[in-house]
């Protein structure tokens, strides 16, 4: 721990915001890692149970999705299932709106990582400039003073340490951000596939059958079946 403190101290005062950005990056990355772990580890079972139940009972499918409401996939599937006798267009619209809302939550933290990627190298560059200024201020060419040489060396060390700290922080934030972007893109594709399957089930198993039964009842009301002699 003391070695880390000494290394940070060598970077000068500019290392304080750089260390702060690195702490924010690590904290947010841990929160996002927990979020994606929960989602990826549970969503397949939720999707399987909801789609399986949707073939037989929409209320049961909605209840299963509601139990998984703490997950984005649960809220996504619940959005159209909670509607009362929707048309296919309304069903599809509910899926789209829910997908957009969940995508916003998945993008949480992106702005922080993008800001760190932009700010950390600039702070490191600022530390380089201040370190070089300190170096040339204390550099006494031809003076032969060991104290001046030591101060000049400390300035160079400050410049290099700040530069390295800014680059490391930016690289870490960029790597984490790219991983999250990959997860977000895959999740959006997954939502599209699952939503399409649920929509197809609703159209085939419920809406079209209901429409067919309604038309059949209208036909029967216009053309009643004749009574048999025994029924007369």
Question: Which tens digits make up the pLDDT trace of 21-73?
Answer: 999 999 999 999 999 999 999 999 999 999 999 999 999 999 999 999 999 99
Banded pLDDT at 204 (limits 50, 70, 90): confident
Name the residue with higher pLDDT: 219 or 189. Answer: 189
Long-range contacts of 74-81 (CB under 8 A, 24+ apart): 74/46, 75/101, 75/102, 76/102, 76/191, 76/194, 76/195, 77/46, 77/47, 77/50, 77/194, 77/198, 80/198, 80/199, 80/202, 81/50, 81/54, 81/198
Question: Which tens digits make up the pLDDT trace of 108-156?
Answer: 889 999 999 999 999 988 888 887 777 777 665 555 555 555 655 666 7
In this prediction the pTM is 0.77
Q: What is the DSSP-derived secondary structure letter of residue 57? A: -
DSSP letter for each residue of 204-227: IIIIHHHHHHHHHHHHHHHSPPPP
């Amino acid at each position: 721990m003391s070695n880390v403190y000494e290394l940070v101290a060598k970077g000068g005062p500019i290392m304080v915001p750089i260390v702060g950005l690195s702490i924010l990056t690590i904290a947010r990355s841990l929160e996002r890692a927990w979020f994606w772990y929960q989602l990826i580890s549970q969503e397949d079972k939720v999707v399987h149970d909801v789609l399986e139940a949707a073939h037989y009972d929409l209320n049961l499918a909605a209840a299963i999705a509601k139990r998984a409401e703490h997950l984005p996939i649960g809220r996504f599937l619940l959005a159209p299932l909670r509607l009362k006798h929707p048309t296919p267009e309304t069903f599809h619209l509910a899926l789209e709106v829910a997908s957009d809302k969940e995508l916003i939550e998945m993008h949480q933290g992106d702005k922080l990582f993008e800001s760190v990627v932009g700010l950390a190298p600039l702070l490191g560059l600022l530390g380089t400039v201040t370190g070089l200024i300190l170096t040339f201020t204390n550099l006494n060419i031809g003076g032969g003073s060991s104290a001046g040489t030591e101060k000049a060396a400390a300035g160079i060390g400050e410049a290099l340490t700040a530069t390295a700290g800014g680059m490391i922080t930016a690289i870490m934030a960029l790597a984490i951000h790219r991983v999250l972007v990959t997860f977000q893109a895959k999740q959006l594709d997954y939502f599209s596939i699952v939503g399409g399957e649920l929509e197809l089930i609703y159209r085939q198993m419920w809406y079209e059958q209901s429409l067919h039964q309604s038309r059949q009842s209208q036909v029967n009301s216009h053309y009643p079946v004749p009574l048999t002699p025994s029924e007369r």
